[in-house]
Structure 1
Amino acid sequence: MARTVARVIVDALSELGVRQVFGVVGDALNPLTDALRTTDGVEWVGCRHEEAAAFAASAQSQLSGTLGVCMGTVGPGSVHLLNGLYDAAKSHAPVLAIAGQVPLGELGSDYFQEVDNDALFSDVAVFRATVTSPDQLPQLLELAVRNAFGRKGVAVLTVPGDLGERELSTDRPARFSLNPPVTRPEESAVREAAGLLDRAERVTLLVGRGARHAREDVLALADRLAAPMVLTLKAKEGFEGDANPFQVGQTGLIGNPAAASALEDADTLLLLGTDFPYRDWYPEGKTVVQVDTEATHIGRRVPVEAGLVGDTGATVRDLLTHLTAPAAGTDGARDRSHLEKARKRFEEWRGGQARLADPSHDKGLIGRLRSTFDNRSDDIRPEALAAVVDRLAADDAVFTSDTGMATVWLSRFVEMRGERRLIGSYNLGSMANAMPQALGAQCLDRERQVVAFCGDGGLSMLLGDLMTLKTHRLPVKLVVFDNRRLGMVKLEQEQAGLPEFGTVLDNPDFAAVAEAMGIPGIRVTEPAELEKAVRRAFDTPGPVLLDVLTNPDEVAVPAKPTVEQGWGFAVAKVKEIVRSHGDDGTA
């Protein structure tokens, strides 16, 4: 078989273990897609939008630890990749994007659809290059892949449309060396950090996804320090469940009072594998020790007394050997009242949340009283929907969630127990990510349950890629929180004292839309129907769209509600009432 540019690229992807390539076909990509057509073991997944293709590739990379691959043809096709690639970049996911380009002889001539890809991707990519000669391969491909893995980001390789079919003059195959190094901090820095932790009376851990691979080491450290463990959203995966007696949930806008007080009550904070970005949620006046693989992350969110640059697992093991405080249950062990107080408050909060999530909640006295203010239409509570999904979903399910209120309800009511996995746009905060990320996740394993928590605004943005699920028979379960609103924006407006504006969505019947596309659709309008509908969705083979009409006025109270937020919400509600009266002609 001739060693063309396209063949070298596709053969190398196969050797790297890439199983799917996501994209939209186009003339500049024809040599590459034809090479994929004739390659066993690498599947072309034709999407309806390149943004969905990039999201799918990013999800695969994050879930599998392998290279995610997507393609966009010349000009607009490559431009459409950008948002999904930004999400991959901010998630530190190794992704290779193959971008089409105009013929070599037309480069720089303002040819039809010509876009300067090297400029276009300059901000999002850790590596970008345009192939201008066949013999630049396989070296350029090797550099792209090594940069994607080594720098944990996006590499973009641009291939002009008339270059893919050209043959190389060399038979040298692409070679990749991808063994990541395990870094450790200096011993003197570990001793300094251990000394700070030994002298502390009350330590709280803030644990991020960067610590997931070191779960047992982190649990051992929490036990040694008698420290409650506050989790970032991305650390739910790997650190939740009954097997972790230290975790107290999340902080931030999606968090809970127990986590907030665990941070406030501590005198020392230990940050493990997290770059939690919200400065307002870090308490002031604390001694801070931070562990991260990236030196640039140390101290950029909160001032630190000791920064340890290294692999979380290796660093935590080093800390354990340097701590002088004895293990729990032995004489002189650290007092555990700080941990016990945080855990008690967390369990109390969880109990209250469970009552809210009961589908019959609004039938009780308190529920009826509450409904007169925030749910006069007796819509389904989103808490109830999330809780039922959590109860009925498999213990190895993969969850994705759209940015906004869908993520809030997932964070509070879905526990990442067992072998569950979680993917979302938790760094970029894009809309429309849940469905295409679920697409990528399901391609990895068509037998594993994949559940997408979709906002109605997010789903409608990339609605066309429902057809990709149908075409490739991907059994994703789409759970749509259909509150006819851009819910998070609504909440942000009202907390600032502004009346709701521009957030109302004139939605179709999403279940009927799915049916028209050949996908089973289930629409739920009554709380009493909820559990039966979720069971039916999970039991139905193939993709299913579950359209649940949820309460648009549901309020997610943050972990530390402020007087200003409460006052702003009250003012906003008065403005909304006055406006609605004016709209219908009443005084």
Structure 2
Amino acid sequence: MARTVAHVIVDALKDLGVEHVFGVVGDALNPVTDAIRTTDGVSWVGCRHEEAAAFAAGARSQLSGTLGVCMGTVGPGSVHLLNGLYDAAKSRTPVLAICGQVPLAEIGSDYFQEVDNDLLFRDVAVYRATVTSPDQMPRMLESAVRAAVSQGGVAVLTVPGDLGDQELTDDRPARFALDRAVTRPDDPALAAAAELLNAASRVTLLVGRGARDARTEVLRAAEQLSAPMVLTLKAKEGFEGDNPFQVGQTGLIGNPAAAHALDSGDALLMLGTDFPYRDWYPKDCKVVQIDTREDHLGRRVPVDVGLAGDVGATLRALLPLLAEVADRAHLDEAREKFAHWQEGQQRLADPAHEHRWTGRLRAALDNRDHQIRPEALAAAVDRYAAEDAVFTSDTGMATVWLSRFVTMGGGRRLIGSYNLGSMANAMPQALGAQLWAPDRQVVAFCGDGGLSMLLGDLMTIKTYRLPVKLVVFDNRRLGMVKLEQEQAGLPEFGTELDNPDFAAVATALGITGIRVTDPEDLHDSVRRAFETPGPVLLDVLTNPEEVAVPGKPTVSQGWGYAIAKVKEILP
């Protein structure tokens, strides 16, 4: 019996192991959603906004390492996918977007809701095509999936509304060849890298998420070179726990120990990272970079030896060529600075800190109303969250506090919009994460601005009874923008948010809502949120004047902040 275009697509998704398709139903997609309805093993997840659907599909893909799938109907429905798909593209995770289109005969006539999807998704997609004949299937679907998986990106397949229920004349099953090659550089390149590293006396590692499958080899390299290990935010997940070499993050969210480890080294070994902030790289330093993508080599900092290949395979070939460094002074100094910085951060996170004379002095400057410090909230979440919890975080200050106070050990996972830097990602990514791992705890670090931007998909969490824990850093501000303005010497403007009681909103939607305004109630409230079955929104009013000092603050930043505060006080 001949199958329709829609059934070919859905049957292929089932064969690929796709369990959930995220989207908003619409007329052009009715044949596809109906095929999902009648197919065991593939479930439709109806979201309230297509952007949330794309974020959820991307999150599921990042966590599972497999294809994520989302759908948007003709015109505006497809347009709404765009931001979430950009996040997937920047995260280099495979996502297939199936988009509706006007009837085939009307394409190009400026028909109602018509949008040129092939043009719209040109920048975001590694593959985009419009099905114009049933006989193009399943070949076109195979090409889309192979492109998304092999290149780690987004594929967009557009299906006109009158094509989905048409039957194929040649009804063969879709076939996918998805094995990826593992490569390493040739021997002369490895010898050049070894020569450079062996000649250095102080080597520092900068480790990114691209090294996550090579933890054993990376730790061996750090041990052999007696090298401190600076982690990018995306590398926290695989390298922070049980690691005697790591010294945390660099950049604006980082710490002085990581900045020192980079600046005091005479050689830098970059492993699976495309860390974008040029100002935070060391100067006058020899650099070896290992990355699977050849076009990443040297694009952030000048590289003396670039090695294109899998980090694990390359290190396994490189390690026998490296001399063992007995002098641990460089490593020990960085680790001591890191421990000292961590002790200071933990003092800030201690609720009793406000009662000590140092705490009272600081509070007189930045927390006169003795509101809950966001550091204390993040530390409490770290304490009570499960050892294998999955964390998501909104872009901005919520990510800063997660970076500094949540430890990714014991099998914990972490995703966020760490390349695109979008607002509103944490809650919909948590939605996708919970469907990927229904038996694991999922915790979203939500900014109040980010949560309110896609607030409607709280109803999706309620509808599907997803036990997500939403922790809202409710400082009534776009906090990162406020800090950026003040560091530039500008008074705060346009960042204040007239928030509702988010806990009451959640309660009205059928989700457990807990609101915390008193520092004395913080730990009991966080503990109760994690102990309560089902979804919980924990709305914590935090200090809006909290400042996250970067790892290497500049005089101009401090001066700018002082000027901004004067401008805010004076009319």
What range is the shorter-chain TM-score in? over 0.9
Q: Distance in 2 between matches of 1:320 and 1:446?
A: 40
Q: TM-score, normalised by structure 2?
A: 1.00
**2:429 aligned residue:** 437
In 1: Cα distance, 2:482 partner to 2:395 partner: 14
Aligned twin of 1:552? 544
- How many residues matched? 571
C-alpha separation between the residues in 2 aligned to 1:535 and 1:360? Answer: 18
Residue 479 of structure 1 aligns to a residue whose secondary structure is strand
Equivalent position amino acid for 1:353 in 2: Q
AA of the residue aligned to 1:44 = W
- Corresponding position of 1:404: 396
Distance in 1 (CA, whole Å) between partners of 2:416 and 2:255 is 20
Alignment-derived partner of residue 137 in structure 2: 137
What CA RMSD, in Å, does the superposition of the two structures yield over aligned residues? 0.6
1:527 equivalent to 2:526? Answer no
Matches within 5 A, 1:310-329: 310-323=309-322, 325-326=323-324
1:153-168 alignment to 2 at 5 Å? 153-168=153-168
Which amino acid is 1:364 matched to? R
Q: Aligned residue for 1:255?
A: 254
The residue aligned with 2:375 is: 383
| Aligned-residue offset at 1:412 | 0.2
2:22 corresponding residue in structure 1 = 22
Q: What SS is found at the alignment partner of 1:431?
A: coil
Q: Which residue of 2 aligns with 1:572?
A: 564
Residues 374-394 of structure 1: per-residue CA shift (max 9 Å, x gap) = 011111000000000001101
* Corresponding residue number in structure 1 for 2:386: 394
Residue in structure 2 matched with residue 297 of structure 1 by the alignment = 296
Report the AA paired with residue 205 of structure 1.
Answer: L
| Percent identical | 77
> For each residue in 1:15-53, what CA deviation from the matched residue of structure 2 results, as whole angstroms up to 9, or x when unmatched?
000010000000001000000011111110000000000
Asked if structure 1 preserves the Cα contact closer than 8 Å seen for 2:2 and 2:171, the reply is no
Question: Would the aligned equivalents of 2:117 and 2:158 in 1 still touch at CA under 8 Å?
Answer: yes
Map Cα deviations across residues 520-566 of structure 1 (whole Å, 9 max, x no partner). 10000001100110111101111100000000000000000000000
| Matched residue SS, 1:81 | helix
Tell me which of 302, 320, 327 is aligned to 1:335.
Answer: 327
Deviates more, 1:533-542 or 1:497-506: 533-542
| Equivalent pair of 1:27/1:73 in contact (CA under 8 Å) | yes
| 1:397-455 Cα deviation digits (max 9, x unpaired) | 00000000000000000000010000000000000000000000000121100000000
- Rounded to whole Å, the distance in 2 between the matches of 1:115 and 1:491 is 39
What SS is found at the alignment partner of 1:275?
coil
Instruction: Report the counterpart of residue 114 of structure 1 in structure 2.
Output: 114
User: Could you say what secondary structure the match of 2:77 adopts?
Assistant: helix
Q: Provide the rounded CA distance (Å) in 2 between the counterparts of 1:190 and 1:184.
A: 9
Residue pair 1:210, 1:312 contacting (<8 A) in 2 also: yes
Show the counterpart of 1:330: none
Alpha-carbon separation, structure 1, partners of 2:170 and 2:82:
33
Distance 2:132 2:321 in 1: 55
> What is the rounded CA distance, in whole Å, between the counterparts of 2:49 and 2:88 in structure 1?
16
For 1:45, what is the secondary structure of its paired residue?
strand
- Residue 539 (structure 1) aligns with: 531
Describe how 1:260-271 pairs up with structure 2 within 5 A.
260-271=259-270
Question: Partners of 2:437 and 2:115 in 1: how far apart?
Answer: 36
Aligned residues of 2:207 and 2:273 also touching (Cα < 8 A): yes
Which residues of 2 match residues 133-282 of structure 1 at below 5 A? 133-241=133-241, 243-282=242-281
Query: 3-state SS of the aligned residue for 2:493?
Result: coil
| Consecutive unaligned residues in structure 1, runs of 5 or more | 327-332, 580-587
- Hey, what's the Cα distance between the residues in 2 that align with 1:373 and 1:2? 73
1:449-488, aligned counterparts within 5 Å? 449-488=441-480
Query: In the aligned structure 1, how far is the partner of 2:205 from the partner of 2:366?
Result: 36
1:359, distance to aligned residue in structure 2 (A): 1.3
Supply the AA of the counterpart residue of 1:472. Y
Q: Give the superposition deviation at 1:171.
A: 2.0
Distance 2:57 2:99 in 1: 14
2:445 pairs with 1:446:
no
- Out of 406, 415, 419, which is 2:407 matched to? 415
Partner of 1:585: none
Q: Which amino acid counterpart does residue 136 of structure 1 have in structure 2? A: Q
Displacement of 1:342 after TM fit? 0.3
- 1:68 match: 68
CA contact (8 A) 1:88 1:154 kept: yes
Give yes or no for contact 1:251–1:559 (8 Å, CA) kept in 2: yes
1:41 and 1:443 mapped to 2: Cα distance? 13
**Deviation >6 Å, runs of 4+:** none
Taking the aligned partners of 1:151 and 1:369, their CA distance within structure 2 comes to 53
Query: 1:285 offset after TM fit, Å?
Result: 0.6
CA distance in 1, matches of 2:115, 2:547: 45
- The answer to whether the Cα contact below 8 Å between 1:469 and 1:476 also exists between their aligned partners in 2 is yes
Deviation at 1:2, TM superposition (A): 4.2
Q: Give deviations 1:484-525, integer Å, cap 9, x for gaps.
A: 000000000000000000000000000000011110100000
CA distance in 2, matches of 1:533, 1:163: 53
The 1:221/1:496 distance shift into structure 2, 3 A limit, reads same
Output the TM-score relative to the length of structure 1: 0.97
Secondary structure of the corresponding residue to residue 351 of structure 2: coil
User: Aligned letter for 2:3?
Assistant: R
Distance across 1 between alignment mates of 2:269 and 2:276: 15
Q: Matches of 1:307 and 1:279 in 2, distance apart?
A: 17
| 8 Å contact kept, 2:392–2:426 | yes
Aligned residues of 1:360 and 1:527 also touching (Cα < 8 A): no
* 1:88-139 residue CA offsets vs partner (Å, 9 max, x unmatched): 0000010000000000010100000000000000000000000000010000
Aligned counterparts, 1:350-361, within 5 A: 350-361=342-353
SS at match of 2:377: helix
Distance 1:473 1:40 in 2: 20
Kept in 2, the 8 Å contact 1:293–1:310? The answer is yes
Q: 2-side partners of 1:142 and 1:175: how far apart?
A: 7
- Paired letter, 2:301: V
Assess if the C-alpha contact under 8 Å between 1:209 and 1:232 holds in 2: yes
Shift of 1:334: 2.9
Would you say the 8 A contact 2:2–2:169 is kept in 1?
A: no
Distance in structure 2 (CA, Å) of the matches to 1:436 and 1:384: 25
